[in-house]
A and B are shown apart, each in its own frame.
Chain A
Amino acid sequence: MTEQRSRGAEEQGSRLFTTRHSPFAFLPLASCLLPLAFLLLFYFYPLASILGLSFAPEGHLDLSALEKLVQTRYYLRTLWFTIWQATVSTLLTVGLALPGAYVFARYEFPGKSLVQALTTVPFVLPTIVVAVAFSALLGPRGLINQALMGFLGLAHPPLELQHTLAIILLAHVFYNYTLVVRIVSTYWANLNPRLAEAARMLGAGRWRAFREVTLPLLLPAVGAAALLVFIFCFTSFGVILVLGGPRFATLEVEIYRQTINYFNLPLAATLSVFQILFTFALMIGYTRLQARTALPLELRSRRATQRRPRNWRERLLVWGNVGLMLALLVMPLAALVARSFSTAKGVSLDFYAQLFYNPRGSAFYVPPGQAVLNSLGFALATVGFSVALGLMAVAALDQRKEIRFFGKIRFLRRLLDPILMLPLGTSAVTLGLGYIVALDEPPLDLRASPLLVVLAHTLVALPFVVRSVMPALRAIDPRLREAAASLGAPPWRVWREIDLPIVARAVLVGAVFAFTISMGEFGATSLIARPERPTLPIAIYRFLGRPGATNYGQALAMAALLMAVCTVGFLAIERFRVGEVGEF
């Protein structure tokens, strides 16, 4: 009832008040066109270049290489497996992370922000490092198998996860858990708990109240998070190759093989187009769902909804979930850190000390401090770019505003949401080579420029910013803005006093993910030529690339450094406050 009434009021409101609410109101076109231009230049143009070259190398369309695609069932099976594993991974991640999101949304407990920061660390770790962590824990001679063998008196390790589907799913949960927790809990924290309480008062059980009241209200955030998780798993590459082993292949893996191993560009491009079309169809479906589920809500400040757990039941819920996060996400990290300290002569800082030496005078030696600075430089630039572009995009996408002016470019705006997500669902191989082909002439000769790294990271980070902020922005009751406007507040003031405090947390969530995308070197940047500015993940790969116990130890020490820098980064971003804007 309330929702219906508020929707009616909204329609009326937009007819009554023609005030411009958006801070970008004076630049309505720019807020839509700048993100579009960015996508056009650094996504569509490179993509079109490489696809054109692949399908029509001599200028005319050549589809002979595609016969194979039609003839073998292998590619159909690969497509099916790609969709299937992404669906199961998403369901598992959302299922496991929702209780965690609830705990973070509703309860205050000691160590909360540290736990939240630590659970995001997996997101930045290179797959090969995660493989080391998993094998230290779950491998045939890992801690867990050893413990089980000792405890149960078994002769063989009971858990055989190496190269199984189970470990792929587990790794996807490990990586993406934080996505669901962060996006959903930020939204959930502002939901009015009285709605669910009212349902319970009217006789609904806990489960029924959750299912019929809370869950529908949460849908925009759950949908946004699930979409990101799905697309991430859909284009999964490292996890499938390294942990799943050579028996499993997703479309992304197959695109890589066809491009790099066989240089069969037409086949690779076809698979790439499939991947993009699928993402696009998914986004169209999602956009419709988003329009249906988004409701202006009566939001509450998080301070009014969060409290310490009061009885044993609540304590069990809180600490049970924290325990799950520690076991699932933090234990593998701890195993890595522990290994970085364990040397031939026992626990020592040797590997860390060695990081500071360049015994053979290699021209490729990176002092750890320099690697940290390089990583941070790229990451902060990515945060800056993607938050700026992301805020413009959401301002343009928030359809309730500026109907009159935007009417003319409504088509563009409707397209903007689905196409903003496309880079995330596009093969990094295809896009990376697209840069090489397209951005090779002034003024856009960016092939060996560090700027290209930032742009490629921004392309992947942008969807995270948009998906984090959109649900919060959509939930704002337009009557709040109207009230402020009718009291004489100019548009920028309305935005600053109403929108900004409500979406600020969500923007920070987006910023955290933009930071992680860049720190973890996501996207096409592994496919482009890098000038001499090595980041932490690149330094880790260099150590792992050759035999020798000290190389291995230094790689782990560098990985521990990456984790530490990220943890501090997350805590810092979360503490970031904008001027005197109140926290909501």
Chain B
Amino acid sequence: MRRIVVFTLTGMLMVLTACCPPTPGTGLSEPTTSATEAPSTSTETPEAITPPEPRTLRVMTHDSFAVSEEVIAAFEEQHNARVEILESGDVGVMLSQAILSADNPQADVLYGIDNTFLSRALDAGIFQPYDSPLLDEIPDHLELDPQHRALPVDYGDVCLNYDKGWFAEQGLAPPASLEDLTEPEYRGLTVAEDAASSSPGLAFMLATIGHFGEEGDYTWLDYWADLRANDVLVASDWENAYWGSFTYGSGGEGDRPIVVSYASSPPVEVLFAEEPFEEAPTAAVVSDGSCFRQIEFVGILIPEDAENRDLAEAWVDFMLGTTFQEDIPLNMFVFPANENAVLPEAFGKFAAIPEHPAEVDYAAIEANREAWVEAWTETVLR
């Protein structure tokens, strides 16, 4: 009995000690100096000998967010801040949370909304506008929101990938376009993801909508009907498709040499290979109109007069600046939005960037998402 009690109490104590909230931002209101100025020099109170407590900046992201330790440390040191990252599930889950807590945000900044969800985020009014000076370094075609509530950070293309070794072995030419997949020699070779439950699945569906269109003799739904007739496999998510069914990713257990993945997957295969490769074992199809470009955005959740606003703006500037931007490719395997950012060598060498991805207006995506996904489900699955 006593041990049960002790056991229980220890359990509870452990939690309590573990749960001491991080010292909240102590609310030292900085003078109107620019955020980039080091706070230790701007001590207002004469008796302050020790540097002021670092403020806490909360950044909400999806769970694919990654960054180098030293990059975060650089920001923390420069702004005497502590960056707390709140991982909040996938993009859809994160956005649902952000919308439901719009009046009382969980974080100061939110990163990771992409153009497939942008319209929902803007309509819900979760972001506060911020005219970052660094927007000058970002190409206009990535800036989808003219009011600068959501600022582009990076982009990546969802494309078909194929297993080079498999095609060489079979003596078959790898696919070069979306149309190829409906040809008889590619029967039963493709695995895609469910447009209803997977982000690359939805993006690939959007590529077909952009490419084939909704009207005319041969619509995107005709294409999917043909794909279905050609035995396309639909997996629930990227993990399942890539690791379970793709011949290369599954190490031979899967039987599909073509998979819907990212244009950056081939260089990532090289980076995380067990033994060094001369060239990537897989390749992406980047012909015109065969990819869909996902652009990821950052936005400020707190209003102009909020205590942490300057820090939040500093963070947005930091994310758009070259230090962070050059750290992006090898951590998140997408391309930096800032034109001045230099790509790491391995990435530049093996990654292909489609020149003309399929285009679908972001507002149309939110407006038609349910109808499109239902039509897709009806055509491909039922």
Contact = CB atoms under 8 A, between A and B. Distances in A.
A100 interface: no
B2 interface: yes
B274 A261 contact: no
Interface string B258-275: 000100010011011111
Contacts of A264: 370
Interface residues of B, number: 84
B307 interface: no
Interface string A345-358: 10000100000000
B50 interface: no
B3, B196, B382 interface centre (most CB from chain A within 10 Å): B196
A128 interface: yes
Contacts of A362: 66-69, 331
B242 interface: yes
A246 B236 contact: yes
A20 interface: no
B313 interface: no
A28 interface: no
Interface stretch (A134-142, A190-198, A222-230, A274-282): A134-142
A303 interface: no
A327 to B, nearest CB: 20
B243 A141 contact: no
Nearest to A577: B3
Contacts of A551: 272
A34 interface: no
Contacts of B330: 360
B18 interface: yes
Contacts of B7: 384
Nearest to B120: A263
A578 B268 contact: no
A75 to B, nearest CB: 13
B87 A530 contact: yes
Given A261-B92, A546-B333, A579-B2, A437 B101 contact: yes
Contacts of B273: 548-550
B234 interface: yes
Given A139-B244, A388-B12, A578-B1, 11 more contacts: A135-B253, A139-B254, A362-B68, A380-B14, A436-B101, A440-B104, A448-B84, A527-B89, A529-B106, A531-B86, A578-B4
Interface stretch (A103-111, A207-215, A449-457, A470-478): A449-457
Given A377-B18, A454-B15, A547 B234 contact: no
B252 A343 contact: no
B249 to A, nearest CB: 7
A433 B69 contact: no
Interface string B230-247: 000011110110111000
Interface in A102-142: 128, 131-132, 135-136, 139-142
B319 interface: no
A584 interface: no
B323 interface: no
Interface of A: 50, 53, 128, 131-132, 135-136, 139-142, 241-242, 245-247, 256-257, 259-264, 343-345, 350, 360-365, 377, 380-385, 387-388, 433, 436-437, 440-441, 447-451, 454, 496, 500, 526-533, 538, 541-542, 544-553, 578-579, 581
Contacts of A241: 197, 236-237
Contacts of A350: 274
A364 B18 CA distance: 19
B69 A363 contact: yes
Interface string B145-189: 000000000000000000000000000000000000000000000
A381 B16 CA distance: 9
Contacts of A256: 197
Interface of B: 1-4, 7-12, 14-16, 18-19, 21, 58, 60, 63-72, 84-90, 92-93, 96-97, 99-101, 104, 106-107, 120, 194, 196-197, 234-237, 239-240, 242-244, 249-255, 261, 265, 268-269, 271-275, 282, 330-331, 333, 369-370, 373, 377, 381-382
Given A261-B373, A361-B69, A546-B268, A381 B240 contact: no
A527 B88 CA distance: 7
Contact of A549 (B4, B96, B274, B331): B274
Nearest to B107: A529
Contacts of B274: 343-345, 350, 549-550, 553
Contact of A451 (B15, B253, B268): B15
A433 B100 contact: yes
A361 B70 contact: yes
B8 A384 contact: yes
A88 to B, nearest CB: 21
11 contacts: A141-B252, A142-B253, A256-B197, A261-B370, A362-B67, A363-B85, A380-B10, A547-B268, A549-B273, A550-B273, A552-B243
Contacts of A527: 89, 93, 97
A462 B66 CA distance: 35
Given A578-B4, A579-B2, A548 B18 contact: no
Nearest to A500: B1
Nearest to B21: A449
A57 to B, nearest CB: 11
B319 to A, nearest CB: 14
Contacts of B235: 245-246
Given A546-B333, A548-B273, A578-B4, A433 B236 contact: no
A11 B308 CA distance: 67
B21 A363 contact: no
A261 B96 CA distance: 9
B11 A380 contact: yes
B15 A450 contact: yes
B269 A548 contact: yes
A135 B244 contact: yes
A313 B138 CA distance: 77
A447 B88 CA distance: 11
A361 B68 contact: yes
A538 B18 CA distance: 18
B236 A547 contact: no
A242 B197 CA distance: 10
A257 B197 contact: yes
A132 B243 CA distance: 8
Contacts of A448: 58, 84, 86, 106
A529 B60 contact: yes
Contacts of B68: 360-363
Given A384-B10, A450-B15, A451-B15, A547 B244 contact: no
B290 to A, nearest CB: 19
A147 B234 CA distance: 27
A579 to B, nearest CB: 6
B244 A546 contact: no
Nearest to B332: A546
Q: Give 10 nearest A-B pairs by CB, closest first.
A: A384-B11, A548-B272, A260-B92, A246-B194, A529-B86, A344-B274, A381-B15, A529-B88, A451-B19, A241-B236
Contacts of B66: 362-364
A142, A343, A548 interface centre (most CB from chain B within 10 Å): A548
A246 B378 CA distance: 11
Given A546-B268, A550-B273, A441 B60 contact: no
A450 B70 contact: no
A365 B85 CA distance: 13
A552 B120 CA distance: 34
A3 B144 CA distance: 76
A241 B275 CA distance: 34
Given A529-B106, A548-B271, A242 B237 contact: yes
B333 A529 contact: no
A541 B239 CA distance: 9
Given A53-B100, A447-B106, A579-B1, A242 B249 contact: no
A542 B85 contact: no
Contacts of A245: 194, 234-236
Contacts of B85: 363, 532
B271 A259 contact: no
Nearest to B274: A344
